[in-house]
Structure 1
């Protein structure tokens, strides 16, 4: 799909690539400070967190191990079903590890809440959350995210790893998807 075609699918840009990079650098400095004396395991949630994980990890000065988990609760819908399926589990045991879950977005919070409860049963020493984006008005459960990049409105957003039906992940900005695309 050409850039001109994609532009017609966007209602407006919410956060630019430059703003994202600047905020991730700030969050990385906080994590560097908070985990200076501890080993941290970064856990990315596929596929959306790929961009966040890559850019965030490069901004860190501490050495952090990395692992990935794939879960699904959306399918081709614009709303989470709340029913979580594990598509790929972690390769690293969590026992005694300081885990930092790296998420692209906290929307309803249902999937992440399930994931945090699941990780708590696996013996992690600590579990914290870093989310590039959060939709406070969409929350169905309270998620205590220690590190949040941006609070955004409850519109359906795409770009920077966020998708609609596996499209638009490669956009460098985060934008509101025009309703004509999914209605």
Structure 2
């Protein structure tokens, strides 16, 4: 197994890009069937979702727009429990179908905050797409409409996910070695 080191941590390969790409293709297929006549606005939650959003957009075969918001609840490898908005949405979303793009949903704190913020602007529908989902860590009661891969409750990096800002550029996903 391929291993890498970021800062003071070692990580081992857990999800190769080919598997990631296949999961994105399945999400895109489902969206192509369900959203082609909805004129959706995709809302990418930065920083981690930029790779997922980019690869997903190339697989969608209907007109859509994309925008970006930035929320944060992590410091190092732990969630802080506090979500703060850093960059907000500027597009008008009232009456539109909105699809929030997340890199990963673990506790659900960040996605819950995003949903609360966006629902105040009266969208027609709010949907959630996440490349990765940690069911063991999830404490929310929201529905995740599009899930790429379910994973264990391990700390991971790569494919947009980071450890203190490092590792986002890796095409594969790696799990921390304890």
Taking structure 1 as the reference length, the TM-score comes to 0.90
* SS, match of residue 93 in structure 1: coil
* SS, match of residue 77 in structure 2: coil
Query: 2: CA distance between counterparts of 1:83 and 1:4?
Result: 30
Q: What is the Cα-based RMSD across aligned positions, in Å?
A: 1.6
- Hey, what does 1:100 align to over in structure 2? 99
- Hey, what does 1:169 align to over in structure 2? 168
* SS, match of residue 62 in structure 1: coil
- Hey, what does 1:22 align to over in structure 2? 22
- Hey, what does 1:13 align to over in structure 2? 13
Q: Check the 8 A contact 1:10/1:175 in 2, yes or no.
A: no
- Hey, what does 2:143 align to over in structure 1? 144
Output aligned runs, 1:90-129, within 5 Å. Answer: 90-129=89-128
Query: 1: CA distance between counterparts of 2:57 and 2:20?
Result: 14
- Shift of the 14–4 alpha-carbon distance from structure 1 to 2, 3 Å rule, reads closer
Query: 2: CA distance between counterparts of 1:142 and 1:161?
Result: 25
Post-superposition Cα deviations, 1:48-102, rounded to whole Å, max 9, x if no partner, equal 000000000001111210000011111x332222211111001212111100000
Query: 1: CA distance between counterparts of 2:146 and 2:13?
Result: 22
Q: Check the 8 A contact 2:5/2:11 in 1, yes or no.
A: no
Taking structure 2 as the reference length, the TM-score comes to 0.92
Output aligned runs, 1:25-64, within 5 Å. Answer: 25-64=25-64
Moved more, 159-168 or 136-145: 136-145
Kindly state the Cα deviation for residue 122 of structure 1 after the two structures are TM-superposed.
1.0
Kindly state the Cα deviation for residue 26 of structure 1 after the two structures are TM-superposed.
1.5
Question: Is 1:135 equivalent to 2:134 in the alignment?
Answer: yes
Which ranges of structure 1 fall in alignment gaps of 5 or more residues?
Answer: none
* SS, match of residue 58 in structure 2: helix
Query: 2: CA distance between counterparts of 1:176 and 1:4?
Result: 10
Which ranges of structure 2 fall in alignment gaps of 5 or more residues?
Answer: none
- Shift of the 13–52 alpha-carbon distance from structure 1 to 2, 3 Å rule, reads same
Task: Give aligned pairs, total.
Answer: 175
More helix by share: 1
Kindly state the Cα deviation for residue 10 of structure 1 after the two structures are TM-superposed.
4.1
More strand by share: 2
- Hey, what does 1:158 align to over in structure 2? 157
